[in-house]
Structure 1
Amino acid sequence: MSLQGKTLFITGASRGIGREIALRAARDGANIVIAAKSAAPHPKLPGTIFSVAAEVEAAGGKALALEVDVRDEAIVRQALADANEHFGGIDALVNNAGAIKLTGVQHIELKRFDLMHQINTRAVLLCSQAALPYLKKSSGHILNLSPPLNLATKWFAQYSPYTVTKYGMSMLTLGMSEEFAAYDISVNSLWPQTMIATAAIEFQLGSRESFKHARTPAIMADAAHIILDSSGRSITGRLLIDEEILREHGTTEFSHYRYEPDSNATLIPDLFVD
């Protein structure tokens, strides 16, 4: 399995899972477009588009760092055109950028809901639409970082605004897989079985204490690699869990993905996973 010579356009790739997917593909010799807002260092979160571009190059890939706000249609369309021009095509779009606020309807500010809707749901539609002319030529992939459609009421009770925007991504996955079948484009979603240890989670929770109950982003990167390396539409229209797709392809041992490999602490399931 190899993504050598393939071009991946990854939103939100300056840190966390997006960065890990970029580095995993870079080890194959892939071309990576790091499309994120993080052009300047964040005071509390590590990583910029330029630092990840350097890491991609060091890992054996080729990099193009583009400052992209996925809410801005003109910027998104220009970024995809620039990526296509730079690398001579686009083989995969990874919609990884996301926004989260675990607040119910009663207390959420409309501007925060608008932000989540624009970055989670609307950006998947926009980026996929903008990438479509290039993916038609490559019979490529769209991968959305969104959950299974688990309609248990507990996922709506406390933070339905966030749930709605993430489920919107997954519903777009199902719709685009059918709509783009004529172009041999595969469209899937990927979500972690357990909490993933990222700087964004640390920032939101205020500490790394929960990391002993988490896995590293490497498990998501390895799962994404399987999907993006699949041929034709052999994998499409699926709302996949990282552990599920890895098991389907022969992985039976997952302890090395733990943030603390020697810990016996119980792993915490991610949101929307029973």
Structure 2
Amino acid sequence: MSLKGKTLFITGGSRGIGLAIAVRAARDGANVAIAAKTADPHPKLPGTIYSAAEEIERAGGKALPILCDLRDEAQLAAAVEQTASTFGGIDILVNNASAISLTGTLATDMKKYDLMNGINARGTYMAGRHCIPHLKRASNPHILTLSPPLDMRTKWFAPHVAYSMAKYGMSLCTLGWAEEFRRDGIAVNSLWPRTAIATAAIKMVGGDAAMKASRTPEIMADAAHIMLCKPSREFSGNFCIDDIVLHEAGVRDFSSYAAVPGTPESQLAPDFFLPDDLPRVG
């Protein structure tokens, strides 16, 4: 199980889950392109494409920081081609970039709607469209999208319909592409956390209380690593949950992933969009 020599194109990735996935791959000796729009330090958000590249290099990988607004097709297309020409191809696309606003319809203006759907649903589709020609030439190609299992219950839509549409738009790409590109041997899967994950986005939405009830991004990175090492022709079209992936790989103790050490599993906050019949693990 190694990603040594593989090339990953990760949207977002200057911080949080995307960066954790990048660093985990780098520990294997992977090449990682970080395509994100944070070039200068943000007063409220940690990390830039350049600080991410430094972490990737320190972990043992090769990094390519690319300034890219995922909503701009010309920028995205250029970023994909720069990655392919630098590393000789692309093996893995990680659709990590996402925008969130947990607001109702009357509180969500069209600027917010366009931002979320432009980055989440449209950005995922566009990244796939430009990366897939390269993935078709790879030996074990994967697309991994950080999006939830498809669940059409009204409780996931009524409180924040615009955000839900944007996230499920990402999941619909997984559903469609897994079948569309099955003959090409491209694995297309989604990964979603059981609990809140301690990222800048969670802190912005839920404050310190949410951070204390979260797991670290490393649980998503470790689960993603397992998925990306699987044979692409044998593992596609799945909507996976982080700790279930790890449990199936033999992990039984998840306490090391608590953002606050010693936090009982019962005190961790569940994420959105989880099925009611999700099995417990650990």
Q: What letter corresponds to residue 11 of structure 2 in structure 1?
A: T
Cα displacement string for residues 175-206 of structure 1 (whole angstroms, at most 9, x for unaligned residues):
0010011210000011000000012221333x
**Partner residue of 2:44?**
44
Q: Contact 1:186/1:235 (CA < 8 Å) preserved in 2?
A: yes
- Equivalence for 1:159: 160
Match of 1:24 in 2: 24
- 1:190 aligned partner: 191
Amino acid at match of 2:45: L
Aligned-residue offset at 1:152 = 2.2
Q: Which runs of 5+ in 2 are unaligned?
A: 277-282
Counterpart of 2:153, as a letter, is A
The one-letter amino acid paired with 1:106 is L
Question: Separation in 1 of the partners of 2:73 and 2:165?
Answer: 22
Structure 1 runs not aligned, ≥5 long: none
Tell me, in whole angstroms, the C-alpha distance in 2 between the residues paired with 1:108 and 1:58.
41
Which residue number corresponds to residue 219 of structure 1?
A: 219
Larger mean CA deviation between 217-226 and 232-241 belongs to 232-241
The Cα shift of 1:244 comes to 1.5
Answer whether contact 2:196 2:271 (CA < 8 A) is retained.
yes
Which residue is 1:254 aligned to?
254
Q: Which amino acid aligns with 1:58?
A: R
Q: 1:55-66 residue pairs with structure 2 within 5 A?
A: 55-66=55-66
String of CA shifts for 1:225-246, please: whole Å, max 9, x gaps.
0111111222210111111111
Bigger Cα displacement from structure 2, 45-54 vs 259-268: 259-268
Q: Is 2:107 the counterpart of 1:114?
A: no
The CA distance in 1 between the partners of 2:194 and 2:169, in whole Å, is 19
Q: What is the TM-score when the length of structure 1 is the normalising length?
A: 0.97
Matched, 1:53 2:58: no
Deviation, structure 1 residue 40: 0.8
Partner of 1:85: 85
Determine the structure 2 residue equivalent to 1:140. Answer: 141
1:38-95 C-alpha deviation (Å, 9 max, x unpaired): 1111111110000010111011000000011110111111110000000011100000
Q: Which AA in structure 2 matches 1:152? A: R
Q: C-alpha deviations, 1:119-175, integer Å up to 9, x for none?
A: 000011100000011100004111111001122221112111111111111111010
Aligned AA (1:178): E
d(CA) in 2 for partners of 1:107, 1:260: 33
Q: Structure 1 residue 244 and structure 2 residue 244: aligned?
A: yes
Q: Which amino acid is the alignment partner of residue 61 of structure 1? A: G
Amino acid at match of 1:203: M
Measure, in 2, the Cα distance between the counterparts of 1:72 and 1:10.
16
RMSD: 1.1
Whichever residue aligns with residue 20 of structure 1, its letter is A
Q: Hey, what does 2:280 align to over in structure 1?
A: none
Amino acid at match of 1:145: L
The code of the aligned residue for 2:269 comes to: I
Whether 1:231 and 2:231 are equivalent positions in the alignment is yes
CA distance in 1, matches of 2:204, 2:18: 17
Is the contact made by 1:44 and 1:203 (CA closer than 8 Å) also made in structure 2? no
Equivalent position SS for 2:63: strand
- Deviation per residue, 1:213-256 (Å, 9 max, x gap): 11000000001001111112222101111111111211111111
Distance 1:234 1:42 in 2: 41
Equivalent residues of 2:194, 2:243 under 8 A apart: yes
Give runs of ≥4 in structure 1 deviating > 4 Å: none
Residue 202 of structure 2 contacts residue 210 of structure 2 at CA under 8 Å; is this kept in 1? no
Aligned to 1:76: 76
Moved more, 45-54 or 263-272: 263-272
Name the count of aligned residue pairs: 273
Given that 1:45 and 1:203 are in contact with CA atoms closer than 8 Å, whether structure 2 keeps it comes out as no
